[in-house]
Amino acid sequence: MRKIFVICNFLLAIICSVMAQSAFDEANTAYAEGRYEEAAKGYEALLAEQPDEVLYYNLGNARYKQGELAQAILNYERALRLKPNYKDAKYNLAFAQSRITDNINEQDFFLSSWARTIRNSLNESTWMILSIVLFIFTLVGVLLFLLSRELWLRKTAFHVAWIALLFSLVSGLNAASLHKRDSLRNEAIITQGVVNAKSSPDRSGTDLFTLHEGTKVTIRETLSEWANVHVGSNEGWIRLTCLERI
Amino acid sequence: MKYRLSIFILFIGMALSAYADEVVFRAQAPKQVVVGRPFQLTYTVNQRSRDLRAPEFTDFDVLAGPYTSTSSSTSFVNGHRSSSFTQTYTYTLMGQKAGTFTISPATVKVDGENVQSNGVRIQVLPEDEQPAAQSSGQTSPDTQSSQSSQGSQGTSISSENLFVRTIASKTRVHEQEALMITYKLYFANVDVAQLTNNTKLPEFTGFLKQELEQGEIQTELEHYNGRNYQTAVLYRTILYPQHSGDITIEPARFEAVLRVQTRSQVRSIFDDFFGSYTNVTKMLTAPGATIHVAALPSGKPAGFSGGVGKFTLTPSISQTEVQTNDAITIKLDITGAGNMKLLKTPAIDWPEGFEPYDPKVTNNFNTTTAGVSGTKSIEYLAIPRSAGEYTIPSVKFSYFDIDEKAYKTLSTPEYTVRVKRGAGDVSSPSSEEKGVYYPQKEDIKQLGTDIRYIDTKPLKVTSHKSQIIHYNYLWLFYVVPLAIALVLLIVLRKQIKENSDVTRVRYKRANKVAQKRLRSAAAAMKANDSNAFYAAIEQAAWTYLSDRLSIPTADLNKENIASILAKKGVSEALIKDVMNVLSTAEFARYAPSTDHAMDDLYAATTNLINQLENEKI
């Protein structure tokens, strides 16, 4: 009985994947023939079942071809969340970002932007595994250092151990940072063409600055239908309908 | 259907024919008459008619009539024959008393059908009070002119007989409130041939002037200051005072040409018959006027732009659901009366993302004696450049209501406009509007840039989990290796310690053990037991080397010993000695020799152990 169930499950999975592949091919054909809306619908339907970086990337392309810059950027970002070293997605994201209106000057210290770049270069699971492997290296190094009688071996083991420990810590922190980012989902893309950030979360608030579609913002907090967003050195309230979380 | 249509066509034909032969029956009489002066009331019909039933002329005396006359004409124009027919009934009437009277309609029979005319309103003016003017009491205009010709020129062209009045419709107005200035020529008993162009009108400084269209000059009878005058409006203008206070209008000057009969010395019959006239120009001055202008009350609303009058606002928007780059038009119709020309165009505060154009203003004004009225249509055109939902704020238009003497504010509703991305954006996604320009490079000619193509590799079956390792068990991946490492450390350490302890003990006790063996060797030598001696010596040497060099018994042989000793920096001579002793002891064991040999070997071994003891191994 159990066996039959397992076999059925397995068959179902195969059928599903085959169907998904055919839907994917169909959407790709639509894209190739310039029916971008249809292609986008196809990718979206597939994404509803299961997130996949390729689907996000292709959806982003379809949206870009429709002229929906904000949606394109959003989907490239999502693809890069799943696969940080996705070269095509990186290229197209940069391309789409070169077309948005807002030029956000990040006033960050260069080290923190480096740190972010390094953090974003791998995904969370990779960082985690790296951290664990490095930790095991550290342990091996410590054991060698403590047990070996050979001086050179002890020296080498000592250096390997502390370097590995350091990198293990860094990897762990990166993984934790990515986990926090993905669980909070506090990064968002402006989807409305033009939106004015207000000084307070209501319509009567003073307009502080103007954002255009496609700009990436950080959500600090939300209050009913308003979000307190942070862009560069600016901070203001924007309605939640004007943006979409990555 | 066809049947119906034919009937319809038939009706149209009948209507047309009826229109062509439409009976026109009109009554005509002068608007103003003087009491006791006969005038003519005529009824004209354009078809043969009979049986005129005139109303009762209760307020008028019927002097004569009705006289009937007919006239007809036929003309060919471009082969078209057109004919006209007129039948006229004429009454000669005379006013009994001053006032305004209405003559009710008359009826006439045309082809057996009763046709009704229009009614006529006649203003009967009183007689001239001062019979000083020669015309008084005269019944015929012919005699009047002859009378005037007989009278002296000087008296007939007096300021009483000929003057221009300045008539202001209002003298107390608010700022921007319309008033009309009329220059009216009054004349009696003089023959005004024409007015020259030598007219000097005041500047009307302090006013906005809106001239009324002047048609042909028509004369009317008017009773003024007890006399009946022929009057003619020379000039009319609507004025809008531009500031408060008393504003003075300067006098105006007109020049009239009068026909005056000449007094010729030689009077012939022809002179009398044809008359001989000369034209005399006369300067006429209209008096000035002062207008008292009251300032608009305080408390002007924010959107007040100087409008005074009475207005209504009709806003409309072309569409509220548009695509990008499709124009939106908001139209404001300001309808009413007042200083329309001075109305400022209210501004629309378009939201960001809209590209507004200059509003198009269409003025459709009529200037009447009541002022300027009409419609000012303002079309605001804006093109949304980005998608989204936008709110166009309401436009406020304030004015001063002249009837209620209060400020009024009109406003348009707030419009919510949903802008979708237009189809035009798809092909070239906002390339020029976003202002993205790529510099032309010289070395590589870039023909265009685009995103990379989609990924068409087959989909992976692997399901994407956000993380492979669940956070709840993550700590295990650190703790378990750590625990393993600790256990390993403890176990290995213990073993190493044990090992090192054995070695050290052996090392430390090496000499002692060797001496012990040497003593037993010495005892064997005394007892002359060569076998035991050699065995003891050999054991002493081997055990000593094994302990001292920490070589396990299994690995114990001469080559090993030699190499380890060499590695530990023991001199070649000593190594040779060690080899010598070992081989001698081995050899002697199987081939016993002399006593001397035993002594020698014993000494060599003792010496060797002492030497090795001193070496740092």
Where does a domain end: A51, A76, A97? A97
Q: Do B421 and A132 touch (CB under 8 A)?
A: no
B19 touches A: beta carbon within 8 Å = no
pLDDT for residue A146: 86
A163 and A222 co-located in one domain: no
The verdict on A201 and A240 lying in the same domain is yes
- The last residue of a domain, from among A97, A124, A158: A97
Q: Could you give the residue ranges of the DSSP H alpha helices within chain A? A: 2-32, 36-49, 53-65, 69-82, 87-97, 110-120, 124-147, 151-184
Q: Are residues A31 and A47 in the same domain?
A: yes
Considering the domain architecture, whether residues A124 and A179 belong to the same structural domain is answered as yes
Residues 6 or more apart in contact with residue A47 via CB below 8 angstroms: A55, A56, A59
| Domain boundaries B19-125, CATH class | mainly beta
- Looking at CATH, the fold of the domain delimited by B310-420 is given as Immunoglobulin-like (2.60.40)
Q: Which residues contact B598 (CB under 8 A, 6 or more apart)?
A: B525, B530, B533, B588
Domain B504-614 matching CATH 1.10.3470: the answer reads no
Binned at pLDDT 50, 70 and 90, residue A163 comes out as very high
Q: Is B310-420 the same fold as B19-125?
A: yes
ω before B141 within 30° of 0 (cis)?
Answer: no
Q: Is residue A200 part of a domain?
A: yes
Of A70, A97, A124, which one is at a domain's C-terminal end?
A97
Mean pLDDT of the region B18-46: 78
Residue B57's DSSP bridge partners are none
Ramachandran region, residue B183 (left: φ > 0; alpha: ψ -120 to 50; beta: rest): beta
Contact of B189 with B230, CB cutoff 8 Å? no
| A52 to B454: CB separation less than 8 angstroms, yes or no | no
Domain carrying residue A45 = 2-97
Contact A88, B455 (CB under 8 A): yes
- Cβ-based contacts of A23 with chain B (< 8 Å): none
Rounded distance between C-alpha atoms, residue B37 and residue B28, angstroms: 17
Residue A17 lies inside a defined structural domain of this protein: yes
Kindly state the DSSP code that residue B507 receives in the 8-state scheme: H
Which residues of chain A lie closer than 8 angstroms to B353, CB-CB?
A: 193-194
pLDDT level of residue B592 (50, 70, 90 thresholds): low
- Residue A194 inside a domain? The answer is yes
**Would you call A194 and B429 a contact, using CB atoms and an 8 Å cutoff?**
no
The verdict on A212 and A241 lying in the same domain is yes
**CB-CB: which of B352, B467, B493 is closest to A124?**
B467
> What's residue A133's pLDDT?
92
Q: Name the residue in chain A with its Cα closest to that of B351.
A: A194
Banded model confidence at residue A160, pLDDT cuts 50, 70, 90:
very high
How many angstroms away from the CA of A2 is the closest CA of chain B? 23
Provide the residue ranges of all domains of chain B, joining segments of one domain with +: 19-125, 158-294, 310-420, 504-614
Contact A132 B485 (CB under 8 A): no
Residue type, A97: Q
Tell me the pLDDT band of A224, cut-offs 50, 70 and 90.
confident
Residue A102 belongs to a domain:
no
Confirm whether A105 is domain-assigned: no
Measured at the CA of A213, the angle between CA A209 and CA A219, to 5 degrees, comes to 65
Same domain, A135 and A162: yes
Tell me whether residue A50 is in a domain.
Answer: yes
Q: What confidence category does residue B595 fall into, taking pLDDT thresholds of 50, 70 and 90?
A: low
> SS3 of A216, please?
strand
Whole-complex ipTM = 0.71
pLDDT tens readout for residues B335-391 = 888 888 778 888 888 887 788 888 888 888 887 777 788 888 888 888 888 888 888
Q: Which fold has domain B158-294?
A: Immunoglobulin-like (2.60.40)
CATH assignment of the domain containing A49: 1.25.40.10
Task: Please state, as a whole number, how many other Cβ atoms lie within 10 Å of the Cβ of residue B582.
Answer: 21
Give the number of domains in chain A. 3
Q: How far apart are CA A167 and CA A131, in angstroms?
A: 7
> Do the Cβ atoms of A69 and B467 come within 8 Å?
no
Q: What secondary structure, in 3-state letters, does A54-93 show?
A: HHHHHHHHHHHHCCCHHHHHHHHHHHHHHCCCCHHHHHHH
- pLDDT at residue B134 in the model: 43
Q: What are B499-525's pLDDT values in tens digits? A: 777 777 777 778 888 888 888 888 888
Residues of chain A in contact with residue B446, where contact means CB-CB under 8 angstroms, are: none
pLDDT of residue B252: 87
Which has the higher per-residue pLDDT, A216 or A6?
A: A216
Note whether residue A121 is domain-resident.
yes
**Residue A103: inside a domain, yes or no?**
no
How far is A237 from chain B, CA to nearest CA, in Å? Answer: 17
Q: What is the CATH number of the domain that holds A219?
A: 2.30.30.40
Q: Are B387 and A192 an interchain contact pair (Cβ–Cβ within 8 Å)?
A: yes
Q: Is the CB of A124 less than 8 angstroms away from the CB of B466?
A: yes
Q: What is the DSSP letter of B258?
A: E
Angle at A240 between CA A235 and CA A245, to 5 degrees: 85
Residues A72 and A116 occupy one common structural domain: no
CA separation for the pair B52, B45 (Å, rounded)? 10
- Chain A nearest CA to B432, separation (Å): 10
CB pairs under 8 A between A and B: 132
How is residue B569 written in tokens? 């920096």
